[in-house]
């Protein structure tokens, strides 16, 4: 298992901030479901690229969550995890 916990501690680049702002503005104007569907390909590309970066066999091996507490709870409460 590879654990990467740097995202919350690192400084975001201007490009990341600009992309996030443009996404949130799009979501504000069109709604969350439409925004998610519109950007589905880019979101999937993100998982594919991370998969390659950490040499995972499948995107199914990767999970991004908002906190380490939620990640631990997901693992503890997942009956299929063994």
CA dist., res. 35 & res. 27, Å (int): 5
How would you write the pLDDT of the chain (82 residues) with one tens digit per residue?
Answer: 555 666 566 677 899 899 999 999 999 999 999 999 999 998 889 889 999 999 999 988 888 887 878 888 888 887 665 5
Judge contact between 63 and 74, C-beta under 8 A: yes
- Domain assignments of the chain as residue spans, ordered by start: 14-77
pLDDT at 31: 97
Candidates 23, 18, 67; CA nearest to 42 is: 23
C-alpha dihedral, 71 to 74 to 75 to 77, nearest 10°: 150
Please tell me the pTM assigned to this model: 0.59
pLDDT at 71: 84
Residue in the block written with tokens 């919350």:
8
């Amino acid at each position: 298992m590879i654990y990467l916990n740097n995202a919350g501690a690192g400084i975001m680049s201007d490009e990341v901030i600009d992309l996030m702002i443009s996404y949130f503005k799009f979501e504000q104007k069109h709604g969350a479901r439409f925004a998610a569907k519109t950007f589905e390909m880019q979101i999937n590309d993100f998982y594919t690229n991370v998969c390659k970066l950490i040499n995972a066999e499948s995107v199914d091996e990767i999970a991004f969550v908002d906190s380490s507490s939620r990640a631990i709870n997901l693992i503890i409460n997942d009956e299929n995890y063994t």
